[in-house]
Each structure stands twice: as structure tokens, then as C-alpha cells.
Amino acid sequence: MSAKYSPPSQPTTHRGASTRDETRPARRERPRFRRTRAGLVLDDALGHHVTMRLVDERVFAATPAALRRTARVLLARGAARGLLSFGVADTHLHAVLACDRATAGVFAQTVEASLRAVLSLPVPFEAARIRPIVEQRHLAHAVRYALRQDARHGLALDPCRDGSALPELLAMRVVDTHLAARVAARLPRWSRAELLALLGVELAPGPLDFAQLADAAAAAFALPELDGQDAERSTARRAAVQLALAAGLRTRRVAELLSVTARSAQRLALAPAPRAALRAVELQLRLRTALAARERGDIDAEGRSAADPPLG
């Protein structure tokens, strides 16, 4: 006669104790959104991803001057609002901020108003798209996505990355010198090598192409050009003069490159330029030297010298 079936006994627990099987992974809690007049809001979001474009989707930033002016606006409006990354395509821009939804909304409004004035845009922006960033992996993806708008859209308008936050992250620009620290605090696993790879060329040591000195100095401060007598332009010229003289160029040649008099170049050489400015101008010049070498075919698309032996 077969044994009588008895169901498996249930685990006994003390009152208030959990009966969940501890061998199973805990169920991942879904983000809790609340509905507001501005849309769905996630109170504990890691940040927000903002997308802005004009109502007719026209091109608004397709030249180095326009890209630098746009970058200056984004950096100025984002410095106090947790700006981590941005990237400008021809018809729109992306920005990633470590802030709440309300702050992201204010950022979008002030950026749009400033860009309309700075770029003399004849039409307004459409309502900004603001999306919460809900997890660490999402944050890393959003920051990188904003930096690679050229690759995303197949554009070749910005080889020097003037319209992105990459120059701040690589110390190639000195407009917001705290942005790199904000990113490092939230994405500590990112390395400088990963960021350098986004440039598309290697900033290798070697001779510099000083013919592009003026543009490199302007780019280090996100300036359209060096004409003018304000403090930023004066510092940019001072750094350029001292970098070129340290490399062995004669004062007269440096003056020609910067469209100043020889006496002005001598005066600019006297007061030491900030170390960060010198480094930024050097890196900007090194980038332009590498890009010019690639154009000539001296290096390939991956930044390797044409004289190097094939890999493998």
C-alpha cells in the first residue's frame, strides 16, 4: 500500500518576519513617477537629459563661431545647475544635468532665451524635451551620447569638438573648470583614455603647427575670435604668446600669427599666463596639428601614423 501524500510544509516564521526565499534576487523596484503640470516627474532621479530644437528644425549652429557661442551659453547657464555634458548637432542640442526637474526646466528656458539673442535666431525654440535619468548606467550613456552627436548624425561640422563638453573634460577649454570634477564624482570609472578616444585623433607629443595658434587660443576660451580687449581675450593672447615663445618662435613671427604688433607681443610675454590657460591652448593646438596631419594623410582615421607598421 502506497504512502499517503502530504504537501510540503511551509516555513515557520516569527510574527513580522519575511517569508521571501533569500536565495532569489530581490525584485528591482520600478522608479516612482508623479504626474505634474510639467509632465511625469521622478523625485529621486540622478539627473535630467534635455533636448532643444527650433520650431521649424532649422540649422542654428554650423560654424565654429556659432558652436563656440552656443557652448559659452550652455556652460554659463549650466555651471550652477549641475551641467555634466552637452553636444550640439546642426539642428538641435543635448544637455545632461545632475539636477531636479524644475532646475532643468529653468536651464532650458534661460538657454533658449540666450541663444535667440546671441545667435540672432528669427524663430523660437519648441518646448524642450526633458527626461529623467533613472539609473547609473543610464547616466553614463546619456553623458556619452551628448558628446558624440557628430557620430550619431553622421556630421563633420565640428572636428575640434567646439560644440561639446569634451574640451572641458580634457582640460582643453577653461570656461567651466569645474565641469570635469562634477563628471568624475558621478562617473568615477571613466578614464582620460576613453575621453581622448572620442576626439578621433591622438594628441601625441611632437612639433606643433603654430599657423593655427590664434584659432587654438580662441577655442581654449570658446571665443569666436581674438579681436577685442576684454580680459578673456587678453589672457588668451598672453597664453598663446608665451606658448609660442617657449617653443622657440621669434617675437615678430608670434606677433604676425596673432595679428598684433611686436611691441604688444613683448608686453604679453611679461605677465605669466595661468597654467590652465597655457595647457588648454597647447592641447587645442595639438588637436589642430593632428587634424591637419590626418587631412594630409600622415595619420589614418584611427590616429595612427601612416609610417607605423600594420597591426597584427
Per-residue pLDDT tens over the stretch 170-207: 999 999 999 999 999 999 999 999 999 988 888 888 89
pLDDT tens for residues 80-99? 999 999 999 889 999 999 99
CB burial of residue 84 (10 Å; 0-12, 13-18, 19+) = buried
First to last CA, the chain: 74
d(CA 301, CA 173): 24
d(CA 105, CA 87): 18
Q: Which pLDDT value is given to residue 295? A: 82
User: What is the number of other CB atoms lying within 10 angstroms of the CB of residue 268?
Assistant: 23
Q: Which pLDDT value is given to residue 272? A: 94
Q: Which pLDDT value is given to residue 277? A: 98
Write out the H or E segment, with its range, that includes residue 40: strand 39-42
pLDDT band at 258 (very low <50, low <70, confident <90, very high): very high
User: Which of these CATH numbers, 3.40.920.10, 3.30.450.40, 2.40.50.320, 3.30.70.1290, describes 39-197?
Assistant: 3.30.70.1290
What angle separates helix 64-78 from helix 213-220, to the nearest 10 degrees? 20
Question: Is-contact 213 257, C-beta < 8 A?
Answer: yes
pLDDT band at 296 (very low <50, low <70, confident <90, very high): confident
Q: Where, residue-wise, is CATH 3.30.70.1290 in the chain?
A: 39-197
Question: Is-contact 90 155, C-beta < 8 A?
Answer: yes
pLDDT band at 44 (very low <50, low <70, confident <90, very high): confident
Q: Which pLDDT value is given to residue 90? A: 84
d(CA 30, CA 123): 40
Q: Letter for the amino acid at 278?
A: L
The SS3 of residue 184 is: helix
Indicate the range of 1-10, 111-120, 285-294 predicted with least confidence.
Answer: 1-10
Q: Which pLDDT value is given to residue 79? A: 96
Residue 87 DSSP label: E
Per the prediction, the chain carries an average pLDDT of: 86
d(CA 57, CA 61): 12
Q: Which pLDDT value is given to residue 205? A: 87
pLDDT tens for residues 95-145? 999 999 999 999 999 999 999 999 999 999 999 999 999 999 999 999 999
Could you tell me which residues are beta bridge partners of residue 40?
A: 35
Q: Is the pTM of this model over 0.85?
A: no
d(CA 250, CA 131): 53
d(CA 96, CA 48): 6
pLDDT band at 4 (very low <50, low <70, confident <90, very high): low
154 torsion bin: left (phi>0), alpha (psi -120 to 50), beta (else): left
